[in-house]
Amino acid sequence: MRITQLRSFHAVARHGSVTRAAQALHVSQPTMTTQIRALEDSYGVELFYRHGRGLTLTPTGKALYAVSLRIFSDEAEALGLLKEHGGLRTGELRLGAVGPHHAMEIVAAFQPRYPGIRISMRPGNSEEMIEGLLAYRTDVAVLARYHDDVRLHAVPYRTHPVVLLVPRTHRFARHRSVRLAALDGEPMLMREPGSTTRHALETAMQDAGVSPTVAIEIGSREAIREAVILGLGIAAVSAREHTPDARLATVAIGDARVETTTVVVCLAQRRESRAIAAFMDVVAELA
């Protein structure tokens, strides 16, 4: 059975006339008649009683019409869904981010334009975000560290210096900047391996011939902040992500350029997807 045959049958059953059905489907009457005859002949059934007043459905025709009603109703629903999603009136965008600041900044610009797109966000470090993209768990990721990868499409967004976060009572708090050598032997609170901020600081310290003393390894910015307040050590943070607090001070690194660059990334093969493309366009406008 061909779908064109079923569509012709459905139209005639619905309109009760070959003429009106042909007009509805924009085909000729002979074409409609041929399609229905072919369907009946293929299965050896009679779908319509033909008489001078027109056509009426046989019991088999009535049963088939009930099925065709469901089929073409589902087809109309599917077409409506695709049109809505294609026009970005509805849908979902799964966003991954290493931190909330830039991600929320972009979402704040995106959402008023596409209010029907529901956004879900999951946190993690840059390595976890890339894994999520490649596994199709995430549509777009806001990263702080990125290496060229042919599988990914990336748009640079912002660059910020890495600063030291210290208790207000710490000796470094009296200075605007310190040299990397001053960190030798200093208890450091480090993010988990894979953290961009940690990578940036460790690379700079290694270049300066200084080995970090890792006091505690902590997997969240909020916990790092609380640990610094309690005097458990000092930490490196992106200047953009520090919220002023009377108990804390930030100190620049004076003899090295330590930075993190925020990059927004998606799978290269999915960059033309409507929701992803719209989000990346907003990123390009804000960058």
Q: 151 and 271 share a domain?
A: yes
* Domain final position from 48, 67, 86: 86
Q: 198 and 111 share a domain?
A: no
Q: 98 and 82 share a domain?
A: no
Distance of CA 166 to the CA centre of its chain: 35
Q: 54 and 145 share a domain?
A: no
Q: 241 and 166 share a domain?
A: yes
Residue type, position 239, single letter: A
How would you write the chain as a 3-class SS string?
Answer: CCHHHHHHHHHHHHHCCHHHHHHHHCCCHHHHHHHHHHHHHHHCCCCEEEECCEEEECHHHHHHHHHHHHHHHHHHHHHHHHHHHHCCCCEEEEEEECCHHHHHHHHHHHCCCCCCEEEEEEECCHHHHHHHHHCCCCCEEEECCCCCCCCEEEEEEEEEEEEEEEECCCHHHHCCEECHHHHCCCEEEECCCCCHHHHHHHHHHHHCCCCCEEEEECCCHHHHHHHHHCCCCEEEEEHHHCCCCCCEEEEEECCCCCEEEEEEEEEHHHCCCHHHHHHHHHHHHHC
Phi-psi region of 227 (alpha: psi -120 to 50; beta: other; left: phi over 0): alpha
The residues near 148 (Cβ < 8 Å, ≥ 6 apart) are none
Structure tokens of 268? 């290269």
Q: 66 and 180 share a domain?
A: no
- CB environment 151-186: b (16+ within 10 A), e (fewer): ebbbbebbebebbbbbbeebebeebeebebebbeeb
Q: 17 and 62 share a domain?
A: yes
Q: 198 and 247 share a domain?
A: yes
For the chain, the domain total comes to 3
Can you tell me which residue has the tokens 């319509």? 48
Q: Are strands 177-178 and 248-253 parallel, antiparallel or unpaired?
A: parallel
Could you report the per-residue pLDDT of 164-222, keeping only the tens digit for each? 999 999 999 999 999 999 999 999 999 988 788 899 999 999 999 999 999 999 988 88
The whole-number pLDDT of residue 89 equals: 78
Average pLDDT in the chain = 91
* Domain final position from 51, 69, 86: 86
The whole-number pLDDT of residue 84 equals: 66
* Domain final position from 32, 61, 86: 86
Range of the domain at 49: 3-86
User: Which CATH number characterizes residue 109's domain?
Assistant: 3.40.190.10
Q: 143 and 165 share a domain?
A: no
For the chain, which ranges sit under pLDDT 50? none
Q: 58 and 68 share a domain?
A: yes
Farthest-apart Cα atoms in the chain, separation: 104
Q: 192 and 164 share a domain?
A: yes
pTM here is: 0.62
Please state, in angstroms and as integers, the Cα–Cα distance from residue 113 to each residue in 100, 109, 110, 285, following that order: 20, 7, 6, 13
The residues near 196 (Cβ < 8 Å, ≥ 6 apart) are 98, 125, 126, 143, 144, 145, 260
User: Which CATH number characterizes residue 226's domain?
Assistant: 3.40.190.290
User: Which CATH number characterizes residue 13's domain?
Assistant: 1.10.10.10
Q: 239 and 126 share a domain?
A: no
